[in-house]
Homo-oligomer: A and B are copies of this chain.
């Protein structure tokens, strides 16, 4: 179904797999599928290379663009696995709908993933933490600077080899002025514009010694929502709490997997609004045990401390944290080293 144009050369021998910076190196091939004349054309896998676009292409002017993040894993027997890819497929189409981008066909998505991964299998290294990060994305390519939905798009998948993601200790600041998303806006979508809008406020908190922001609701800044590239969990005593998804918060695949694992393992989990006040009170009473983020790139990212207004709090360093429990559980499923009770693994063959 898919057309494959193989690259005559490979960059793999020039790639240092022991020293990968996240999202910087790309494999030899990419998938490209154009939408025009009212339908998605035949997908093509071809050598990775630059896109040629008119300077008036809608994506440059009106941010009509969405994406996904996924990973492929190689197990000890060289089998290749994806983790809940149907979730990513469904979500990119939910994102597309909100951005007025036409839905992408399911068979194209899975066929492209499988063929691309078979071609790039040597780029997926074995070993806990190694993976091939996959970036499906859609951009509006139609030329013309009138502010309306484009009639031409490109759906692409590019692949980047990744090692375990460790960015040092992460301290987060609770947002009290800036916001990520409005009620009735596009916060639930993986819309390109949601990310660029976070860079400036994040740079401001970096100057204060934090690495990321935990976004609060735009109306009151009293409720903790998500971290922009991660959903956020709070552990107070032995209870785990995370905000419910809504039209401001991304419905994270790792988030919902953590919730399922918590339930399976009889960890008390509450999905409800989390107030800034209760988290600060818990920290002051030494009941706040952990904060961690969840996301495809990071899997589970423990938070070492947080700030709110002028106050800074450090979190305890636990021997048996929920963060490490879930990270281990998730990765064992992802790498085919544990039973897959939920049917989350998808073998690429």
- Chain A residues close to B by CB (< 8 Å): 21-24, 26, 30, 48-56, 58-65, 67, 97-100, 133, 135, 137, 139-140, 143-149, 156, 158, 160, 175, 177-186, 191-200, 202-203, 218-219, 221, 228-229
Contact = CB atoms under 8 A, between A and B. Distances in A.
Contact of A100 (B64, B144, B147, B196): B196
Contact of A197 (B58, B140, B148, B193): B193
A61 B199 contact: no
Nearest to A50: B52
B185 A98 contact: no
A52 B55 contact: no
Contacts of A137: 60-61
Nearest to A26: B56
Given A55-B158, A184-B178, A65 B196 contact: yes
Given A30-B55, A144-B24, A63 B199 contact: no
A200 B23 contact: no
Nearest to A195: B62
Q: How many copies does the complex hold?
A: 2
B218 A183 contact: yes
Contacts of A59: 59-60, 192
Nearest to A23: B145
A149 B54 contact: no
Nearest to A145: B23
B182 A191 contact: no
Contacts of A50: 52-55
Contacts of A203: 100, 149
B182 A218 contact: yes
A192 B219 CA distance: 23
12 contacts: A59-B59, A62-B192, A135-B145, A147-B229, A148-B199, A175-B184, A179-B182, A179-B185, A182-B185, A183-B219, A184-B218, A184-B221
Interface centre among A30, A149, A182 (most CB of B within 10 A): A182
A144 B221 CA distance: 32
A59 B60 CA distance: 7
Contacts of A147: 195, 198, 228-229
Given A63-B194, A194-B193, A99 B199 contact: yes
Contacts of A183: 179, 182, 218-219
Top 8 closest pairs, chain A to chain B, by CB: A193-B193, A63-B192, A182-B182, A63-B193, A179-B184, A100-B199, A182-B218, A23-B145
Interface centre among A179, A181, A184 (most CB of B within 10 A): A184
Given A26-B56, A53-B53, A61-B65, A197 B185 contact: yes
A26 B177 CA distance: 41
Given A53-B53, A55-B50, A160-B145, A199 B139 contact: no
B67 A61 contact: yes
Contacts of A53: 50-51, 53
A24 B60 contact: no
